[in-house]
Amino acid sequence: MGLGEPSPLATAREPKGASATLELEYKHTIAVPPGSRQQATLKTALVGKTAKSADVYVTLKSAPRRGEERVVGQGAFNLRSDLLGKKLDLVDAPIALQGLKGPVGTLRMSVIALEALRAALPTNVLSSIEEESARLAQGAVASAATPQMVRVEVGALNLASALKSDPEVGEVWIEVDLVDIGDKAALVTPHLRKTAAPLDFKFSHSVSIAPGSREQETLKQALDAKDEQESDVYFELKTSVRGKDEQVAQGFLNLKKLLEDGKDFANDVALQGRKGPAGTLKVSLIALDALKALDGPVGVASAAATQIGPRLPATRIHRLVD
């Protein structure tokens, strides 16, 4: 945010070595005298129109023996919400570093800036920010304590012509693989004759995602998995052939894509069989709130803030963990 000179705000270059933890032992202090440019910069960031104006970014870089340095990952914390709003300095806090292909590690760091932040603001503005943060914190606690729901709905099936005329496909149903959450037996639609008009399963089932539950942990693992398929929700079209259940076709939705799109899904899903397109299935997947609840705020250590002289923001980076 332009508070200090870029050069001193860079750690020494260290070989990554074989250890999972790399100690950086970096410390830097910026003076913020009353009425200074630095204090004006802090005030502008804290009262900005968007919350991101108070973001502080931490960038992990790599320098190969030959060639230009490159960005490996980046993390962030917010001076307004993570320090000023909580009335705490950032002390030995884990900052998640995210790369282009996913998480790249965790950086533990301290930022001692609370007194300087408070001194940069008029009393009425400071009070307003603290009151707003208290309201948001109360809402977050209430939300975290409330179980979220993942609901799946299966509606009309439009079969391809080849399946409509296939004599071995008579009774049909859908089995939902909800990334291994919920009772599998409950995630099966009624069995219907393929000639039913309308061919509509009118199926709905909800799974409670309580904070700290196995279901919530399973969801989190699915989203964190490197393999995209781990976060797929499958809709399997099945029939009974000579008394044996057989899969006719399959379609899927992806939870990561749903989260990225920022909305629940309600549309047709294409079904693919061994011999080609098998039709479409009307599906709703209500999961956005449960997925959002998996993402907590930037970690801030609960230990008491370390106090130093007033109006002196200090940054200390401790270690990098793969």
Q: Identify whether residues 284 and 179 lie together within a single domain.
A: yes
For position 215, which CATH number holds? 2.60.40.150
Q: Which of 322, 316, 315, 320 is nearest to 13 (CA)?
A: 320
Structure confidence at residue 4 (pLDDT): 63
Q: Identify whether residues 64 and 15 lie together within a single domain.
A: yes
Say yes or no to pLDDT of 288 above 50.
yes
Say yes or no to pLDDT of 313 above 80.
no
| 299 part of a folded domain | no
| 319 part of a folded domain | no
Q: Identify whether residues 268 and 140 lie together within a single domain.
A: no
| 321 part of a folded domain | no
Tell me the pTM: 0.51
Which tokens hold the place of 25? 């032992």
Helix (H, G, I), strand (E, B) or coil at 321: strand
Q: Among residues 118, 144, 170, which one ends one of the domains? A: 144
Q: pLDDT category, 299, cuts 50, 70, 90?
A: very low
b/e per residue, 192-203, with b = 16+ CB within 10 A?
bebeeeebebeb
Q: Identify whether residues 231 and 261 lie together within a single domain.
A: yes
Q: Identify whether residues 133 and 244 lie together within a single domain.
A: no
| DSSP string over 3-70 | SS-TGGGSPPP----SSSEEEEEEEEE----TTSHHHHHHHHHHT-SSGGGGEEEEEEEE--SSS--E
Summarised one tens digit per residue, pLDDT across range 108-157 is 889 999 999 999 989 888 888 777 776 766 655 555 556 788 999 999 99
Would you put residue 7 in left (φ > 0), alpha (ψ -120 to 50) or beta? alpha
Q: How many CB atoms lie within 10 A of CB 61?
A: 13
Q: Identify whether residues 134 and 59 lie together within a single domain.
A: yes
137 sits in which H/E element: helix 123-145
Summarised one tens digit per residue, pLDDT across range 68-102 is 788 888 888 888 888 888 888 888 888 888 887 77
Summarised one tens digit per residue, pLDDT across range 260-286 is 999 999 999 999 998 899 999 999 999
Q: Identify whether residues 64 and 84 lie together within a single domain.
A: yes
Residues 6+ apart with CB under 8 A from 29: 312, 313, 314, 315
Domain of residue 136 covers 7-144
For position 28, which CATH number holds? 2.60.40
Q: Identify whether residues 135 and 173 lie together within a single domain.
A: no
Q: Identify whether residues 154 and 67 lie together within a single domain.
A: no
Q: Identify whether residues 252 and 125 lie together within a single domain.
A: no
Q: Identify whether residues 281 and 165 lie together within a single domain.
A: yes
**How many structural domains is the chain composed of?**
2
| 198 part of a folded domain | yes
| 2 part of a folded domain | no
